[in-house]
Amino acid sequence: MKVYFDNAATSPVAPEVFEEMIPFLRDHFGNPNSQHSHGRENRSAIEKARKLVAQKLGAQTNEIFFTSGGTESDNTAILGAVKAFGLKHIITSPLEHHAVLHTVEHLAKEGLVTLHLLKVDQQGNIDFTHLEELLEAHGAESLVTLMHGNNEIGNLLDLEAVGELAHQYGARFHTDAVQTVGHYPFNLSETKVDFLAASAHKFNGPKGIGILYVAKENKIGPFIHGGGQERGMRGGTENVASIVGMAKALEIAHDRMEADIAHGKSIKSYLKESLEAKLNEVQFNGRSGDLEASLYGVLNVSLPSSKDAGMLLFSLDLKGISASGGSACSSGALTGSHVLTGIKADENRPSVRFSFGRYNTKEEVDYVVEQLLAIL
């Protein structure tokens, strides 16, 4: 039996999405920036997709830009905001995805900004008092960048609360929503988010295509310069088939969101209860064990085992089980999870992140638990 429990890394392309993309891979090959009919039909497809994405996110069409994925969207928003608004301070957490952390660390190393890392507790919750203190001190010269759903421990951020607080002090707010767009409802017109990043392959769309939302009152420049595509925001010929596929994936995700959330929660709770029943010392990192406070598709499990995380994952792989994980960095370790280190997880216990989606079943959970117990 083969089980794919690594949907937070990437999810399988939905069959309907694949079918939607085929004509744009085979028949509609024109450059969308060409003025002839072959180009115009692809330009029309892109703008139709943009309108659909905007509708599903509660945004205006001119606030949506297409990129190569979440990393590029994060980089464009952060670097663009710092340059356009002369920002001198970035407020973030030590638990962010490297697409954000490495970008802000680079800016700080170049002397362009001062980097402030928020305090977090052992469950991965940010310290709102510390956030307000930093905003009070640095206000309108600040960019707050905090992810909506943590890709490792699943913690969900209150976007409305952070956005309200940031805007109260004149700061701008960027969120990496790569793990949540396509899984949770958004109405960006009513949320105080200035910039948002998303990626299609996290919601059963193709890899290599993403979304950048820029609220209309924020005018920033491009990260990739070139021919002025995407209304001057991103150079490079558009990836038409993937744009069309992403819009279809987002449409499907919204049409079946209620069912997908219910299914994901049932799989997660079943896995959690099965592990708790059969392993006395199992722990759940961050808030991933809380169905209401974390991503419905992520359960990060800290296991009582002498095996290191790498060997544990290798053993699971030999049994046909795909998952990911890591351990907290010990003082002598060269590698490890910065997220688990940030929440002071037990460095002597290996952790596995099981992440699941609409195609997973409880039968797969039974197999995973059986094999995990045999390995341990």
According to the model, what pLDDT value does residue 327 have? 61
Indicate the number of domains in the chain: 2
φ, ψ (nearest 5 deg) of residue 279: -130, 115
Is 182 a domain residue? yes
Is 7 a domain residue? no
Taking only the tens place, the pLDDT of each residue in 187-242 is: 999 999 999 999 999 999 999 999 999 999 999 999 999 999 999 999 999 999 99
Q: What is the pTM of this model?
A: 0.95
The last residue of one of the domains, among 206, 237, 255, is 255
Instruction: State mean pLDDT over 14-25.
Output: 98
Taking only the tens place, the pLDDT of each residue in 166-186 is: 999 999 999 999 999 999 999
pLDDT beyond 90 at 328: no
Convert 88-121 to b/e letters by CB count within 10 Å (16 or more is b): ebbbbbbbbbebbbebbeebeeeeebeebbbebe
Instruction: State mean pLDDT over 34-57.
Output: 97
Q: By C-alpha distance, which of 317, 313, 314, 287 is closest to 299?
A: 287
The CATH number assigned to the domain holding 363 equals 3.90.1150.10
The answer to whether residues 221 and 347 belong to one domain is no
139 lies in which domain range?
Answer: 15-255
The answer to whether residues 149 and 128 belong to one domain is yes
Is 33 a domain residue? yes
Is 1 a domain residue? no
> Where is 109: in which H helix or E strand?
helix 98-109
Is 77 a domain residue? yes
Report how far residue 323's alpha carbon sits from residue 60's, in angstroms, rounded to the nearest whole number. Answer: 37
Q: How confident is the model at residue 373 (pLDDT cuts 50, 70, 90)?
A: very high
The answer to whether residues 165 and 118 belong to one domain is yes
Taking only the tens place, the pLDDT of each residue in 70-89 is: 999 999 999 999 999 999 99
Catalytic residues: 329
Is 2 a domain residue? no
